[in-house]
Chain A
Amino acid sequence: MKEKIQERINKVRNLANASVKGNSVGTSSSRVTDSLSSSIRSSKEATIFLAELDAAIKVAQSKKE
């Protein structure tokens, strides 16, 4: 990791560590629905999708090596 990038990462992390719970702009994270989540209709579909995602990630990783 480049030093300057690490410095920027540290700055964000330090701000997060100093953050007081519930005292920040906006609402806290909640579950959202997007085009992927609205397309997964059952645990079987999710299992298939996640297996395909895992395989795609492995292929993408191997292409980089």
Chain B
Amino acid sequence: MIIINLEDTYEPIDVAEDLSFMTFYSEVTNSPNTLIKIDISPLGDLHLPNVYNMAFGPLINGYIDDKAKINHQSKDKVFSTILLFSLIYLQSNSKITIGIDGSNDIRAYLYHRMFLTNRTYLNEYFVTIGVDWYVKLLRNGDIELDTNRQPYFKPKPEPFDYLRPARNLYRYYMFQLTQ
């Protein structure tokens, strides 16, 4: 279980002038402290100019390794730091929605549990959306296919369903500033 407390976060080490990234040291069990970078970048889609991706993890050759497995001493403090930085970013860019990719099951489970467990606390700051992918059932009983004859999946957002079992993860999570 991850408990978010925006009053208990790691000290920032380096912050971009435009707030596009921040670094901090996470205490790691049986290892030296690890420098973690949080990066908020525009999606590679010109049609979604106000949707930004958030990635975080240790730096490997200057790039974020967002699949790294790190034995953080306090996941609570790591995620609280990440969400505090997201809050700051969104305060400066209020029209933006931040997306986090849940394509990795372990991370998706973490995000899902984090939003679920901290519902009341996070609702004060963020509106949370879950995204599932669906394929259309045609009237003739077939499913819609793309030009490669593969199922034509489309993303569909919905307000985060807090009654949905944690095993039924969303594939993508989004949040923006509470209005």
Contact = CB atoms under 8 A, between A and B. Distances in A.
Partners in one complex: yes
Nearest to B160: A60
Interface of B: 6-7, 9, 11-23, 35, 37, 39-45, 47-48, 51, 53, 55, 59, 62-64, 84-85, 87-88, 91, 97, 99, 101, 103, 123, 127-129, 131, 133, 153-160, 171-172, 174, 176, 178-179
Interface of A: 2, 4-5, 8-9, 11-13, 15-17, 19-21, 24-37, 39-40, 42-43, 45-50, 52-53, 56-57, 59-61, 63-64
B159 A63 contact: yes
A31 B61 CA distance: 18
Is chain A's interface secondary structure helix, strand, loop, or mixed overall? helix
A54 to B, nearest CB: 9
Q: Is the interface of B mostly helix, strand, loop or mixed?
A: strand
Given A19-B16, A24-B14, A33 B156 contact: no
A33 B41 contact: no
Contacts of A37: 43-45, 48, 51, 53
A8 B9 CA distance: 8
A43 B123 CA distance: 31
